[in-house]
Structure 1
């Protein structure tokens, strides 16, 4: 069985599109009908994310941690206990491609670190053009990149267990785990093959994450 873990905190505007895309990936003929279990970890949701998620054939877990590392760890543990051999991680606002899982598994790696396609730059307002330019200058959407995104990450179950999994970090939990995997000698594919489209929103539910990098690290200001 393949597992997909999606942490969510107040994502009522994005969760339906996210789950629709995940379901398409789970039904890809290239998986040869291997079962795929999708778990949404609802972390301190105060909007309609829970109700909208319940309309889909997914498993929902509810916590009040307000911590993405804790949410990812809980979802991973649920999937491992259910028998998952491969863990695929994304977020509640991106949309994975139809071939996302097939592409991850095709690489023969223990860890797959994918890249992201960014859309919706207009949310940066007057900074939109500058933000898009700076992102294009600094981002490496190619094979051999060194980006780590929790929105596009795949890990073999044995490798995940070997390193102890995600730590309870409020951000950069994905980078910390990949660092541990790399130090432990895991076979890592740094690839642009599995595709995920994510929002360029300048403010997300987690401070210090990808949105913060778009807003500050690439020169958009506050």
Structure 2
């Protein structure tokens, strides 16, 4: 069985597209009919995220932690308890490619770090989009780490000690633990997801926060240039 873990905090606006995309990935003929179970960890949710996810076939796990690392770990443990041999992780504001799971398994590694793309840059200036597209390494061997696009075998997950209860960068800490555990890791551009560039991202130091910091830097630089021209 393959377990897909999605942490969520009040994600009613995004969760339907997320789970629907995973359901499609789970039906890919390349999986040979292997069971895929989706686990949505409802971390301190007060909206309809759980009801929507359940209606689409996901198992929901309510917790009160406000901690993305702990939420991922809770979902992983639930999947492992039900016999998952492979764990795939994404985010509630993300949609996965139809061959997402197949491509993870095709890497034939203990862990797979995939790539992200962004389609909606609303709220960001053009310079932020240009900065991302010009610096992001969308190729095999990329070296990026995204909790929105990560896969790992059950054996390797245990070897690394699982996700730590961190409010940000839990994905980076986990991959660093995988490296210390000396498991095989593939940095693949074939495992793809589309994620959000929204301004109200949840993790205080995650990808969304990085984009906001770049946006602020661009605005400050632009203001300085305008002042210098006066």
- Structures share a fold, TM > 0.5? yes
Task: State the 1:107 CA deviation.
Answer: 0.6
Q: 1:175 maps to which residue?
A: 172
**Greater C-alpha radius of gyration:** 2
**Contact 2:2 2:87 (C-alpha < 8 Å) held by counterparts:** yes
Closer, same or farther: CA 184–210 of 1 in aligned 2, 3 Å: same
Deviation at 1:220, TM superposition (A): 4.5
Q: What is the DSSP-based 3-state SS (H/G/I as helix, E as strand, rest coil) of the residue aligned with 2:191?
A: coil
1:60 and 1:108 mapped to 2: Cα distance? 29
Alignment-derived partner of residue 132 in structure 1: 129
CA contact (8 A) 2:115 2:189 kept: yes
- Equivalent-residue separation in structure 2 for 1:37 and 1:109 (angstroms): 21
Q: By how many angstroms is 1:119 displaced?
A: 1.8
Q: Over aligned residues, Cα RMSD in angstroms?
A: 1.2
Task: Specify every segment of 5 or more residues in structure 2 that has no aligned partner in the other structure, as ranges.
Answer: 221-230
- Whether the aligned pair in 2 keeps the contact of 1:6 and 1:39 (CA below 8 Å) is yes
In the alignment, the residues of structure 2 paired with residue 10 and residue 89 of structure 1 have an alpha-carbon distance, to the nearest angstrom, of: 18
Post-superposition offset of 1:98: 0.4
What corresponds to 1:54 in structure 2? 54
Give the alignment's TM-score, normalised by structure 2. 0.92
CA distance in 2, matches of 1:87, 1:197: 19
Structure 1 contact 111–188 (Cα < 8 Å) conserved: yes
Q: Which runs of 4+ in 1 moved over 4 A?
A: none
**Other-structure match for 1:114:** 114
In the superposition, the TM-score normalised over structure 1's length comes to: 0.96
